[in-house]
C-alpha cells in the first residue's frame, strides 16, 4: 500500500519546493499554478484515478457472476493509466485489482506473465489472461 504513494508523494514534494522558490521570488501567482500542476500530476500517478480496487478473489467471484473482465494493475504504471483513460467511464464496468495491495492478485499476474508482474493484465471469465491488451479490445469485452 505504501509504495503506491511514494511517486505521488515525491511529485508533491517537488511541487512544494518549486512553488516555494517562486514564492520567495514574490511570484505568488506562478507558485500557485506550479503547485496545482504538480498536485494534478501526482493525482494522475496515484491510485485516485482508478475505480476502487477489489481483492483478487472478490474480483474473480464478481467476474463469474456478471461476465466482466478483471483488470490487474499497479499505481505508477504508464500502460495501466493509458488503459484507464482510454476506457473512460467504461473502466468502472471492469473489476480492478491493485497487485501492490493484493498478493493474490500479484500471483495471478505472474501466472500469465511468465513469473513477472507485468500489468495491466486482463483476465476474462473463461480464465484466459492477456498482458497489456489494446484498450479497444478490453472495451469490447465490458
Mean pLDDT of the chain: 91
Contact 71, 133 (CB under 8 A): no
Cα separation, 92 vs 50, in Å, equals 8
| Domain membership of residue 107 as a residue range | 51-140
Cβ burial of 76 (10 Å; 0-12, 13-18, 19+) is middle
In CATH, what number is assigned to the domain containing residue 120? Answer: 3.40.30.10
CA angle (7 as vertex; 30, 118 as ends), nearest 5: 135
Q: Is the same domain home to 31 and 96?
A: no
Q: Is the same domain home to 96 and 29?
A: no
Q: Is the same domain home to 30 and 70?
A: no
Q: Is the same domain home to 62 and 90?
A: yes
- For residue 99, count other CB atoms closer than 10 A to its CB: 26
Q: Is the same domain home to 62 and 124?
A: yes
Q: Is the same domain home to 36 and 99?
A: no
List the grid coordinates of 140: 469490447
Per-residue pLDDT reduced to its tens digit, 16-64:
999 999 999 999 999 999 999 999 888 877 777 777 788 999 999 999 9
Q: Is the same domain home to 103 and 116?
A: yes
Please report which confidence band the pLDDT of residue 96 belongs to, taking 50, 70 and 90 as the band edges.
Answer: very high
Contact 18, 11 (CB under 8 A): no
- Number of structural domains (the chain) is 2
Model confidence, pTM: 0.75
What pLDDT is stored for residue 3 in this prediction?
A: 66
Please report which confidence band the pLDDT of residue 9 belongs to, taking 50, 70 and 90 as the band edges.
Answer: confident
Q: Is the same domain home to 26 and 78?
A: no
Cα separation, 9 vs 49, in Å, equals 15
Per-residue pLDDT reduced to its tens digit, 111-132:
999 999 999 999 999 999 999 9
Contact 21, 33 (CB under 8 A): no
Amino acid at each position: 500500500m505504501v509504495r503506491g504513494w511514494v511517486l505521488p508523494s515525491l511529485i508533491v514534494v517537488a511541487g512544494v519546493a518549486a512553488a516555494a522558490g517562486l514564492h520567495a521570488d514574490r511570484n505568488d501567482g506562478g507558485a500557485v499554478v506550479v503547485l496545482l500542476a504538480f498536485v494534478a500530476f501526482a493525482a494522475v500517478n496515484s491510485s485516485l484515478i482508478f475505480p476502487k480496487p477489489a481483492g483478487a478473489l472478490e474480483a474473480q467471484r464478481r467476474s463469474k457472476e456478471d461476465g466482466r473482465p478483471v483488470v490487474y494493475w499497479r499505481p505508477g504504471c504508464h500502460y495501466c493509466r493509458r488503459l484507464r483513460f482510454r476506457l473512460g467511464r467504461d473502466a468502472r464496468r471492469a473489476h480492478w485489482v491493485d497487485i501492490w495491495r493484493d498478493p493474490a492478485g500479484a500471483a495471478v499476474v505472474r501466472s500469465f506473465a511468465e513469473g513477472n508482474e507485468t500489468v495491466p493484465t486482463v483476465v476474462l471469465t473463461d480464465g484466459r489472461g492477456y498482458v497489456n491488451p489494446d484498450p479497444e479490445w478490453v472495451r469490447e469485452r465490458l
